[in-house]
Amino acid sequence: MEIKMLRPQGYCAGVITALNKIKEIAKTEKKVYLLGMLIHNKDVCNALETLGITIIDDQNKTRLELLDMIPNDATVCFTAHGVSDAVYEKALQKNLKIYDLSCIHVLEVKNLCKKFLQDGYEILYIGKKGHPEAEGILGLSNKIHLITNKNDLQKIKINCQKIIITNQTTLSIFDCEEIYDAAKLIFPEIKHLNKICNATTIRQEAVLNQDLCDLCIVVGDKLSSNTQKLMKVSTHKGINTILVENLLDLDINLLYNVHKVNITSGASTCKNAVLAIVKFLENFDYDKIETHDKTPYLSYEVL
């Protein structure tokens, strides 16, 4: 089987920074609460729990609501996705010791939004409903309007002449460009600030420019927005594509008649998880497909 790893692989710089910080925090603080998943990677979350970190997460609750589950005077870490000012203020009111692990690119968007709000702008924010990054930005002001697709633009009622459009950092370049173009037709004077982070953009471009293959494997958590977008970009290119969280998640029945494989991964995916899949595929035997054992490839570090 011919296997090609699309570059880059492994954690992006923001994820590496967040992981390094929380490991140091776990060494110095006795009881640490993490407000949501540090990154969208269940394997990482499981590993953090072994360090004594308690993850407070519920997909049906906002960060503000999740704070109620943390006792006063405890230590809390905000995730790489960032939080709104309201969350920060509530944490202070609870007398929590705060460690903010927000990605610098998320903070950049947040600060830009604050600046434009102060200058009298209304903001169209392209994002995924319920995603913690979007939640943090939308919590800044009711003058920030969530746009999940171009049809949402028709529902927006804005009397202000000063409008900007920006986006969640982990989205698809295709989705954003389509919405940008549609917004320009409705609001001709709109200012455009493309804030898809560089790590996300480079991975999407690599997938867009990949050679033809029998199968493209996208490795990453199904909750990860940037991983989902890699899947979408590859499928958009017309390539048979699957998303797996790790080697255990790989259905070997999908490997029948597959001779050329491309592999990419999300910015919150451990490179070791990708290498485990590569090693398994390198030793894959079509004639023994029913007896393949994944166990020898499953021992690796994620932190």
Question: Per-residue pLDDT averaged across 35-44, rounded?
Answer: 96
pLDDT, position 289: 61
- Band of residue 290 on the pLDDT scale cut at 50, 70, 90: low
pLDDT, position 180: 96
Domains 2-10+199-297 and 105-196 share a fold: yes
Tokens of 54: 């308690």
Give the count of beta carbons closer than 10 Å to the beta carbon of residue 81.
28
pLDDT, position 103: 95
pLDDT, position 159: 87
pLDDT, position 165: 98
Question: Per-residue pLDDT averaged across 12-20, rounded?
Answer: 96
Q: What is the CATH architecture of 105-196?
A: 3-Layer(aba) Sandwich (3.40)
Q: Which residues contact 68 (CB under 8 A, 6 or more apart)?
A: none
Q: Which CATH number fits domain 2-10+199-297: 3.40.50.2000, 1.10.246.90, 3.20.130.10, 3.40.1010.20?
A: 3.40.1010.20
Give the count of beta carbons closer than 10 Å to the beta carbon of residue 50.
9
Length of the chain in terms of residues written? 303
**Residues 252, 255, 260, 263: is their CA dihedral positive or negative?**
negative
Question: Per-residue pLDDT averaged across 221-235, rounded?
Answer: 95
pLDDT digits (tens, 9 = 90+) for 144-164: 999 999 999 999 989 889 999
Lowest-pLDDT range of 69-73, 172-176, 177-181, 289-293? 289-293
Tokens of 281: 């595929």
With beta carbons less than 8 A apart as the criterion, state whether 145 and 124 touch.
yes
**Single-letter residue type at 65:** E
pLDDT, position 292: 77
Kindly state the helix (H) or strand (E) to which residue 164 belongs, with its residue range: strand 163-167
pLDDT digits (tens, 9 = 90+) for 110-126: 999 999 999 999 999 99
Can you give the residue ranges of every domain in the chain? 2-10+199-297, 13-103, 105-196
What is the pTM for the complete model shown? 0.91
What percent of the chain lies above the pLDDT cut of 90? 92
Give the count of beta carbons closer than 10 Å to the beta carbon of residue 58.
10
Residue 286 pLDDT exceeds 90: no
Instruction: Show which residues are catalytic.
Output: 133
**Residues 137, 169, 105, 276: is their CA dihedral positive or negative?**
positive
Residue 291 pLDDT exceeds 70: no
Helical segments of the chain, H only: 13-28, 42-49, 63-67, 85-93, 104-118, 132-138, 173-186, 198-208, 225-236, 271-282
Average pLDDT, the chain: 95
Residue 250 pLDDT exceeds 70: yes
Lowest-pLDDT range of 104-108, 173-177, 264-268? 173-177
Question: Per-residue pLDDT averaged across 182-194, rounded?
Answer: 95
Q: What is the CATH architecture of 13-103?
A: 3-Layer(aba) Sandwich (3.40)
